[in-house]
Amino acid sequence: MQFKALPLTAAIALPCALAFAAALTQSGGKQALDGHVSKLASAQALTAKLTAQRLPGAPTEWTVQFSRPNYLRIESPTHLWLSDGKSLYSLDKAKNRYAVEVVASDTCAKIAGIDETAGWAAFFDPKVLADAKSVTLGSKRNIKGNATQEVTYTLGGKTFTLYLDSKLGIARGFSLKSGDAESLILSSEFAVLDDALDASAFAFAPPAGATKIDPSVARELSFADVAPIFMRNCSSCHNSSRLTGGIDLTSYASIMKVSGLVRPGDPDNSILYGAVSWTRGRSMPPSGGKLPQSDIDAIRKWIADGAKN
């Protein structure tokens, strides 16, 4: 079989058509994302029941309540975050301890920005998605009986895919990729309300026997908390130009792409923690003694908190 060469005009038109289609996809994605943000910002309350799953692990059940002006309740099997508009309460159910801190203007947006609810953080601050990049429309799909449209974007080194409800224009769920880690958050019940929720829904009562602790102990650590430790002690040997052991510890993405180096939620089986704590494999740093115990504890807590960016 012989193939005929495309006429010159067709050869020029094809890449132009592809570029135009890509531009339309990007434009449509930005428009859809802006609509999601706008509708969240104008809503008075949001309630949802979710399943959050860090693949390939099992899903866990979460409940979410957001309300104007600064009311928030996010509850998982192990934790509760609750803002009554004045104070933020963080409860660790397993350890039966809680912390209390004053609610600032950005407190609720930060708490809502955790991986399991980040798709709706714009409820409290529309600007949280201002730096979203590579916004594109994806496929249409059915999520738990609801027609949705995929919108994908990157933000803070993570890739999000929102599943925008075709009727509401707001995400009913989303997926999140960060390095090799992937999470899937889907709502079984979801509602956006025109009236704020009653303040009584955000009253906090400590469980029997619960201990009150300092907020710095209760706060989950992010990569920003441990990155300076790696820069001070590890980056001279483990960087993009000098990949000792094939490991680059200068960025979140480069750390998370190495299989087994960090296992979110499981420091004892993470190669990185085993090395810095001198309990598994080759001890790091190889000279100069162990890291300060406070640095080792911070790395452990970061991994135990989910090794988030």
Question: Does residue 7 register a pLDDT over 70?
Answer: no
More confident residue, 258 or 14: 258
Please check whether residue 40 is in contact with residue 172, taking contact to mean a CB–CB distance below 8 angstroms. Answer: no
Helices 223-233 & 293-304 angle (0-180, nearest 10)? 140
Please check whether residue 83 is in contact with residue 99, taking contact to mean a CB–CB distance below 8 angstroms. Answer: no
Task: Classify domain 12-210 by CATH architecture.
Answer: Clam (2.50)
Closest CA to 152 of 188, 122, 191, 119: 119
Give the contacts of 226 (CB within 8 A, at least 6 positions apart): 298, 299, 302
Give the contacts of 30 (CB within 8 A, at least 6 positions apart): 135
| Three-state DSSP state, 1 | coil
Alpha-carbon distance of 134 to 168, in angstroms, equals 23
pLDDT at 283: 77
Residue 193's H or E segment, with its range, is strand 181-193
| Per-domain residue ranges of the chain | 12-210, 223-304
Question: Does residue 119 register a pLDDT over 90?
Answer: yes
More confident residue, 156 or 191: 191
Residue 91 has, within 13 A of its CA and on its CB side, a CA count of: 22
State what percent of residues in the chain have pLDDT above 70: 90
> What pLDDT band is residue 152 in, cutting at 50, 70 and 90?
very high
Instruction: Supply the pTM of this predicted model.
Output: 0.69
Alpha-carbon distance of 156 to 37, in angstroms, equals 17
φ, ψ for residue 40, nearest 5 deg: -65, -45
List, in sequence order, the alpha helices (H) in 43-156: 107-112
Residues in the chain, total:
309
State which of 173-177, 225-229, 282-286, 288-292 shows the largest mean pLDDT: 173-177
Average pLDDT of the chain is 86
Question: Does residue 63 register a pLDDT over 70?
Answer: yes
| Three-state DSSP state, 283 | coil
Please check whether residue 21 is in contact with residue 150, taking contact to mean a CB–CB distance below 8 angstroms. Answer: no
Q: How many CB atoms lie within 10 A of CB 8?
A: 8
Residue 223's H or E segment, with its range, is helix 223-233
